[in-house]
Amino acid sequence: MAIRLSVVLLALIVSACGPVHKNVSLDAKEAQSIHVLEVQMHSKGSFEVIMDRATATAGPAAMFGLIGVAVASAHNQSLDNDKENKVSKHIEGIEHQATVSTGLFEGLKQQTRFTVVDAMAKDNAADSILELTIKDWGLKVADKRHESLVTPFVQIECVVRHKSGHKKLLNLHETYYGKNSRAFHKYEGDGKLLADELQAVLHEAGLQIGTRMAYTLGGNS
Protein backbone atom coordinates (compact mmCIF):
# COMPACT_ATOMS: atom_id res chain seq x y z
CA MET A 1 0.00 0.00 0.00
CA ALA A 2 2.83 2.41 0.87
CA ILE A 3 4.49 1.80 -2.47
CA ARG A 4 1.21 2.34 -4.31
CA LEU A 5 0.62 5.64 -2.48
CA SER A 6 4.16 6.77 -3.27
CA VAL A 7 3.69 6.00 -6.95
CA VAL A 8 0.42 7.90 -7.03
CA LEU A 9 2.00 10.85 -5.24
CA LEU A 10 4.93 10.99 -7.63
CA ALA A 11 2.62 10.74 -10.62
CA LEU A 12 0.78 13.79 -9.37
CA ILE A 13 4.03 15.68 -8.83
CA VAL A 14 5.44 14.76 -12.22
CA SER A 15 2.27 15.45 -14.20
CA ALA A 16 1.66 18.83 -12.64
CA CYS A 17 3.36 21.76 -14.37
CA GLY A 18 2.57 23.96 -11.42
CA PRO A 19 -0.51 25.00 -9.47
CA VAL A 20 -3.87 24.63 -11.19
CA HIS A 21 -5.21 28.03 -12.19
CA LYS A 22 -8.76 28.96 -13.04
CA ASN A 23 -9.10 31.42 -15.89
CA VAL A 24 -11.56 34.28 -15.38
CA SER A 25 -13.29 35.59 -18.50
CA LEU A 26 -14.41 39.16 -19.04
CA ASP A 27 -18.06 39.84 -19.83
CA ALA A 28 -19.20 42.44 -22.37
CA LYS A 29 -20.48 44.94 -19.77
CA GLU A 30 -17.19 44.95 -17.91
CA ALA A 31 -15.28 45.33 -21.17
CA GLN A 32 -17.28 48.44 -22.07
CA SER A 33 -16.36 50.03 -18.72
CA ILE A 34 -12.68 50.17 -19.74
CA HIS A 35 -11.63 53.39 -21.49
CA VAL A 36 -7.96 53.98 -20.61
CA LEU A 37 -5.90 50.84 -20.02
CA GLU A 38 -2.56 51.02 -18.22
CA VAL A 39 -0.13 48.21 -19.09
CA GLN A 40 2.15 46.90 -16.34
CA MET A 41 4.87 44.37 -17.13
CA HIS A 42 6.49 42.06 -14.58
CA SER A 43 8.86 39.12 -14.68
CA LYS A 44 9.05 36.63 -11.81
CA GLY A 45 10.84 33.79 -13.55
CA SER A 46 14.28 33.38 -15.05
CA PHE A 47 15.47 31.30 -17.99
CA GLU A 48 15.30 27.60 -17.26
CA VAL A 49 15.58 24.24 -18.93
CA ILE A 50 12.90 21.70 -17.99
CA MET A 51 13.94 18.41 -19.50
CA ASP A 52 14.97 15.82 -16.94
CA ARG A 53 12.27 17.03 -14.54
CA ALA A 54 9.66 16.79 -17.28
CA THR A 55 10.57 13.19 -18.13
CA ALA A 56 10.88 11.84 -14.57
CA THR A 57 9.27 8.46 -13.89
CA ALA A 58 7.67 6.81 -10.87
CA GLY A 59 10.61 4.42 -10.44
CA PRO A 60 12.26 6.10 -7.42
CA ALA A 61 8.97 6.19 -5.52
CA ALA A 62 8.23 2.56 -6.28
CA MET A 63 11.67 1.49 -5.04
CA PHE A 64 12.46 3.91 -2.22
CA GLY A 65 9.26 5.76 -1.31
CA LEU A 66 9.12 9.48 -0.61
CA ILE A 67 12.83 9.69 0.14
CA GLY A 68 13.49 8.33 -3.32
CA VAL A 69 11.18 10.98 -4.77
CA ALA A 70 13.12 13.76 -3.04
CA VAL A 71 16.51 12.40 -4.11
CA ALA A 72 15.39 11.87 -7.71
CA SER A 73 13.84 15.34 -7.84
CA ALA A 74 17.05 16.97 -6.63
CA HIS A 75 19.06 14.94 -9.14
CA ASN A 76 16.81 15.92 -12.05
CA GLN A 77 16.94 19.56 -10.97
CA SER A 78 20.74 19.36 -10.98
CA LEU A 79 20.79 17.88 -14.48
CA ASP A 80 18.53 20.65 -15.76
CA ASN A 81 20.70 23.26 -14.05
CA ASP A 82 23.75 21.86 -15.85
CA LYS A 83 21.93 22.25 -19.16
CA GLU A 84 21.03 25.84 -18.31
CA ASN A 85 24.69 26.60 -17.65
CA LYS A 86 25.65 25.15 -21.02
CA VAL A 87 23.46 27.59 -22.94
CA SER A 88 23.49 30.59 -20.59
CA LYS A 89 25.97 32.49 -22.76
CA HIS A 90 23.58 32.22 -25.72
CA ILE A 91 20.77 34.15 -23.98
CA GLU A 92 22.73 36.99 -22.41
CA GLY A 93 21.46 39.54 -24.95
CA ILE A 94 17.79 38.54 -24.77
CA GLU A 95 15.54 41.12 -23.11
CA HIS A 96 12.64 38.78 -22.56
CA GLN A 97 10.32 41.27 -20.86
CA ALA A 98 10.86 43.94 -23.51
CA THR A 99 10.30 41.41 -26.30
CA VAL A 100 6.96 40.27 -24.85
CA SER A 101 6.00 43.91 -24.29
CA THR A 102 6.68 44.83 -27.93
CA GLY A 103 4.39 42.07 -29.16
CA LEU A 104 1.73 42.98 -26.59
CA PHE A 105 1.50 46.61 -27.68
CA GLU A 106 1.43 45.57 -31.35
CA GLY A 107 -1.58 43.38 -30.62
CA LEU A 108 -3.36 46.00 -28.52
CA LYS A 109 -3.10 48.51 -31.37
CA GLN A 110 -5.58 46.43 -33.37
CA GLN A 111 -8.47 48.23 -31.67
CA THR A 112 -9.45 51.88 -31.20
CA ARG A 113 -12.24 51.74 -28.59
CA PHE A 114 -9.94 52.27 -25.59
CA THR A 115 -6.61 54.03 -25.08
CA VAL A 116 -3.51 52.07 -24.08
CA VAL A 117 -0.85 53.72 -21.93
CA ASP A 118 2.42 52.57 -20.43
CA ALA A 119 2.65 52.32 -16.65
CA MET A 120 5.64 54.68 -16.71
CA ALA A 121 3.63 57.50 -18.31
CA LYS A 122 2.85 60.31 -15.87
CA ASP A 123 -0.76 61.36 -15.27
CA ASN A 124 -2.05 58.71 -17.64
CA ALA A 125 -5.66 58.93 -16.35
CA ALA A 126 -6.06 55.14 -16.61
CA ASP A 127 -9.26 53.66 -15.22
CA SER A 128 -8.09 50.04 -15.61
CA ILE A 129 -4.90 48.01 -15.50
CA LEU A 130 -3.63 45.13 -17.61
CA GLU A 131 -0.96 43.38 -15.58
CA LEU A 132 1.16 40.88 -17.51
CA THR A 133 3.56 38.68 -15.56
CA ILE A 134 6.14 36.38 -17.14
CA LYS A 135 6.25 33.34 -14.87
CA ASP A 136 8.83 31.15 -16.61
CA TRP A 137 10.60 31.00 -19.96
CA GLY A 138 13.26 28.87 -21.61
CA LEU A 139 13.33 25.34 -23.03
CA LYS A 140 11.16 22.42 -22.01
CA VAL A 141 9.81 19.10 -23.19
CA ALA A 142 6.47 19.98 -24.77
CA ASP A 143 5.45 16.45 -25.75
CA LYS A 144 6.38 13.50 -23.53
CA ARG A 145 6.07 11.20 -26.53
CA HIS A 146 9.26 12.90 -27.76
CA GLU A 147 11.07 13.44 -24.49
CA SER A 148 14.49 13.89 -26.11
CA LEU A 149 13.28 17.12 -27.76
CA VAL A 150 12.87 20.53 -26.18
CA THR A 151 10.88 23.55 -27.33
CA PRO A 152 11.23 27.26 -26.51
CA PHE A 153 8.38 28.34 -24.22
CA VAL A 154 7.07 31.16 -22.05
CA GLN A 155 4.44 30.96 -19.32
CA ILE A 156 2.42 34.12 -18.74
CA GLU A 157 -0.31 35.33 -16.41
CA CYS A 158 -2.51 38.21 -17.56
CA VAL A 159 -4.82 40.10 -15.18
CA VAL A 160 -7.21 42.97 -15.95
CA ARG A 161 -8.78 44.97 -13.14
CA HIS A 162 -10.17 48.43 -12.48
CA LYS A 163 -7.56 50.76 -11.03
CA SER A 164 -9.79 51.56 -8.06
CA GLY A 165 -10.32 47.94 -7.00
CA HIS A 166 -8.75 44.51 -6.65
CA LYS A 167 -11.39 42.36 -8.34
CA LYS A 168 -9.95 40.50 -11.31
CA LEU A 169 -12.15 41.25 -14.30
CA LEU A 170 -10.05 38.89 -16.40
CA ASN A 171 -7.39 36.39 -15.40
CA LEU A 172 -5.55 34.19 -17.89
CA HIS A 173 -2.74 31.67 -17.40
CA GLU A 174 -1.22 30.52 -20.67
CA THR A 175 1.90 28.69 -21.86
CA TYR A 176 3.12 29.48 -25.36
CA TYR A 177 5.45 27.19 -27.30
CA GLY A 178 7.74 27.76 -30.24
CA LYS A 179 7.12 26.20 -33.64
CA ASN A 180 10.06 23.79 -33.46
CA SER A 181 11.24 21.03 -31.15
CA ARG A 182 14.88 20.03 -31.29
CA ALA A 183 17.46 17.95 -29.48
CA PHE A 184 19.07 19.99 -26.72
CA HIS A 185 22.53 19.71 -28.26
CA LYS A 186 21.25 21.57 -31.33
CA TYR A 187 20.57 24.64 -29.20
CA GLU A 188 23.74 24.13 -27.19
CA GLY A 189 25.82 24.19 -30.38
CA ASP A 190 23.99 27.02 -32.14
CA GLY A 191 23.52 30.08 -29.96
CA LYS A 192 21.92 32.14 -32.72
CA LEU A 193 19.31 29.46 -33.35
CA LEU A 194 18.42 29.37 -29.66
CA ALA A 195 18.27 33.16 -29.32
CA ASP A 196 16.21 33.59 -32.48
CA GLU A 197 13.65 30.95 -31.54
CA LEU A 198 13.34 32.18 -27.96
CA GLN A 199 12.79 35.75 -29.11
CA ALA A 200 10.25 34.54 -31.65
CA VAL A 201 8.11 32.76 -29.06
CA LEU A 202 8.39 35.67 -26.60
CA HIS A 203 7.24 38.16 -29.23
CA GLU A 204 4.49 35.85 -30.51
CA ALA A 205 3.19 35.30 -26.97
CA GLY A 206 2.92 39.04 -26.41
CA LEU A 207 1.28 39.53 -29.80
CA GLN A 208 -1.29 36.79 -29.18
CA ILE A 209 -2.19 38.19 -25.77
CA GLY A 210 -2.40 41.74 -27.13
CA THR A 211 -4.62 40.63 -30.00
CA ARG A 212 -6.83 38.65 -27.65
CA MET A 213 -7.13 41.64 -25.31
CA ALA A 214 -7.87 43.97 -28.23
CA TYR A 215 -10.85 41.88 -29.31
CA THR A 216 -12.00 41.00 -25.80
CA LEU A 217 -11.74 44.48 -24.26
CA GLY A 218 -12.62 46.18 -27.52
CA GLY A 219 -15.98 44.48 -27.57
CA ASN A 220 -15.26 42.54 -30.76
CA SER A 221 -15.28 39.04 -29.28
Query: What is the structure's pLDDT at 1?
Result: 42
| 10-49 pLDDT, tens digit each | 443 444 445 556 677 777 788 888 999 999 999 998 899 9
CB atoms within 10 A of CB 67: 11
- Burial profile 97-129: b = 16 or more Cβ within 10 angstroms, e = fewer: bebbbbbbeebbeebeebebeeeeeeebebbbb
| Angstrom distance (rounded) from CA 54 to CA 61 | 16
| 131-168 pLDDT, tens digit each | 999 999 999 998 888 889 999 999 999 999 998 888 88
CATH code for the part of the protein at 21-51+83-217: 3.40.50.10610
Full-model pTM? 0.81
Specify whether the CB–CB gap between 164 and 178 falls below 8 A: no
Delimit the domains of the chain by residue range.
21-51+83-217
